[in-house]
Chain A
């Protein structure tokens, strides 16, 4: 099955730095979702995007639905140690209505204080 191209695969940053990650696909998507997974737990939904160009914030997190509908970005500002975890993008392909979401392979974020 198709997977999204999520990058970078991992990031090692200092506390206080800003973080940016993205997901891309060759297909058009109608929905983009961003999740965070803490070690040993299930992913938790951070932000949902439903319209091309949409920019949505959740605290220090901001995500955007790309204009081409083939990509999405997640930014974290002023990172803190509890931001550590795996971030997943997920999407619903426009041509695959009625199917399950497609997930990226995740970006593992490490924050040193």
Chain B
């Protein structure tokens, strides 16, 4: 199984500042035949289901604000919120969908306002 590890576990950022969440996979999730990284980012607010923000490591879903961006390749990935808004307080998860879904989610990163 591929193990996904996020860091930090929690993060406090001031409003308007940049927030960066990292995700590392235990082996590459870059598929060489199509040059795509099989990595998704989700946002989960209390009492709500997860919301898909980014697929293929860097493709924003429709309607997701452009302050959210994803980057990285191979085994190391980053979710960046360029200017933190109050409504961005949530837990963020990365997920690999490269192969078997067992243990496919990271443990989550809790983002709070400083």
Do the two shown chains form a genuine complex with each other? no
Which residues of A come within 8 Å of B, CB atoms? none
Which chain B residues have a beta carbon within 8 Å of chain A's beta carbons?
A: none
